[in-house]
Amino acid sequence: MSFFDYLTNRIQEADSLLCIGLDPHPEFLRRSTAEEARDFCWGLIEATADQACAFKPNSAFFEVFGAEGWTALREVIAAVPEGIPVILDAKRGDIASTSHAYSRAVFETLGADAVTLSPYLGRDSLEPFLADPERGVFLLCKTSNPGADDLQVLSIEGIEPLYLRLARIASAWNTADNLGLVVGATDPVALTEVRRAVPDIWLLAPGVGAQGGDLEAVLRAGLREDGLGMVIPVSRGIAKAEDPRVEAIRLKEMINSVRSSLSEVPVPVLSSHLTALADALLEADCVRFGQFTLKSGVKSPIYIDLRLLASRPTLLMRVASAYLPVLKSLRYDRLAALPYAALPIATAISLQTGRPMVYPRKEIKDYGMGSAVEGGFERGERVVLIDDLATTGGSKFEAIERLQAAGLEVNDVVVLIDRQGGATQDLAEAGYRLHAVFTLSQLIEHWAGAGKVSQQQADEVKKFLGIGD
């Protein structure tokens, strides 16, 4: 039997995804001793065992007491009733003989069934823990602490954040059905992304309650279609309750209520790294609300000015990175930037990808070479047209005409934001494909849902777009 078979059996027996955290914080104890920490955890186990799918003791709160704490931790694990998995929250990570020693300490000396590990030393550092299919591992993937984004959201090859790449790699390592991921409950969008990337893997989602994670949002983001695939650990919320058993029952019932209504709420429409970029554009005043006249003559309640990116190099590079997953799926020889707003964007893309760039001039020179398209190229090469926005197809057609007149082939247009003003249809009718990182409706839904813009502003834009009620 694999570890996750063992866990599933317990979940079905208790009808519970609730994992009871055993974290004897000093403020919970009458005296700062190992024995007091042990007795505190014994009390929680006795009060909540029939409601728990697992228990998760945190080794740090025992190790602080030295050898006596180690003994107390072993006694806490031994007190968990047979048939209930114990996940040791230790976050170990090392290599070679050290990793073997840690594995023996966790599984043999302490008697835990699973452990949390850091993945950043690679697969060989995990192998001693994964060797026995009956023992489980939860790898840190997207954690709930404020500093997690320092590393975990770094872009890998401009395509996806590090934590998503890790999730895919970890899924490939899960050959014995005993490897899961830790994804914090404070980021339901990241949970959604991970679940989409690895539909079957088990997730441990700490952060509900004291750290601010919303239980319902977390469950809707991370549960598998079968209503399983997640373990929800709660520590302080239960330990601090007037009656821990009553609170455990309440949380278990809330979890099961959401499990029974999974299909009612859609998942977020944007990935976490794109929502962060959307918010950054708003904060940089690249998006404004009011009454504006567009180039087409249309009156709009929203104005998007991506020319400001030229003065914000860090944001410019983030914007350029957002184009890369779209471009990866296209076949082209060169980028073609549409002046003027797209020139810095396409330059940043070129610097990140190494792809050469050309651009069609707005006015053909009557001196020098008299070029209509600047940059080096060969006739017959395929270019992808890069622009900042798309409203109608007008300006795109002007650029495409000059590029084609110079002997270049154009099939695809890529923009950051599709304003949904008919450009997709206009271009499609002429045989061109429009690709967008965002649609304006996606941005408005996100900003309104996150409280970044008022509901009135959102409603005005939706009315302008002809969407909504």
What pLDDT digit, counting tens, does each position of 315-324 carry?
998 999 889 8
Asked if residue 244 and residue 294 are part of one domain, the reply reads no
The rounded distance, in Å, linking the Cα atoms of 274 and 413 is: 20
Q: What is the pLDDT of residues 246-277, one digit of tens each?
A: 999 999 999 999 888 764 444 445 666 788 89
The rounded distance, in Å, linking the Cα atoms of 126 and 330 is: 37
Residue position matching structure tokens 């949970």 = 191
What's the CA dihedral at 219, 225, 231, 235 to 10 degrees?
20
Q: Which domain holds residue 142?
A: 3-264
DSSP E strands, 408-451: 409-418, 433-439
Asked if residue 90 and residue 69 are part of one domain, the reply reads yes
pTM of the model: 0.61
Which amino acid is residue 80, in one-letter code?
Answer: V
Query: Has residue 21 got a pLDDT over 90?
Result: yes
Q: Are 152 and 139 in contact (CB under 8 A)?
A: no
Q: What is the pLDDT of residues 214-224, one digit of tens each?
A: 888 889 889 98
What local confidence, expressed as pLDDT, does residue 192 receive? Answer: 87
Q: Could you tell me how many helices (H) and strands (E) the chain has, helices first?
A: 18, 18
What local confidence, expressed as pLDDT, does residue 34 receive? Answer: 95
Q: What is the CATH number of the domain that holds 420?
A: 3.40.50.2020
| Residues belonging to the active site | 91
Asked if residue 324 and residue 226 are part of one domain, the reply reads no
Provide the percentage of residues in the chain whose pLDDT is more than 70. Answer: 93
Q: What is the pLDDT of residues 282-291, one digit of tens each?
A: 999 999 999 9
At 264, give phi and psi (nearest 5°): -85, -25
Asked if residue 312 and residue 231 are part of one domain, the reply reads no
Both tokens of 303, joined, read 């104005």
Asked if residue 161 and residue 124 are part of one domain, the reply reads yes
Query: Has residue 377 got a pLDDT over 70?
Result: yes
Asked if residue 58 and residue 16 are part of one domain, the reply reads yes
- For CA atoms 102, 103, 109, 115, give the dihedral sign: positive
**Residue 340 preceded by cis peptide, ω within 30:** yes
Query: How many domains, the chain?
Result: 2
- Final residue in a domain of this structure, among 200, 230, 264: 264
Asked if residue 223 and residue 182 are part of one domain, the reply reads yes
In the structure, what pLDDT confidence band is assigned to residue 134 with cuts at 50, 70 and 90? very high
Q: Are 446 and 269 in contact (CB under 8 A)?
A: yes
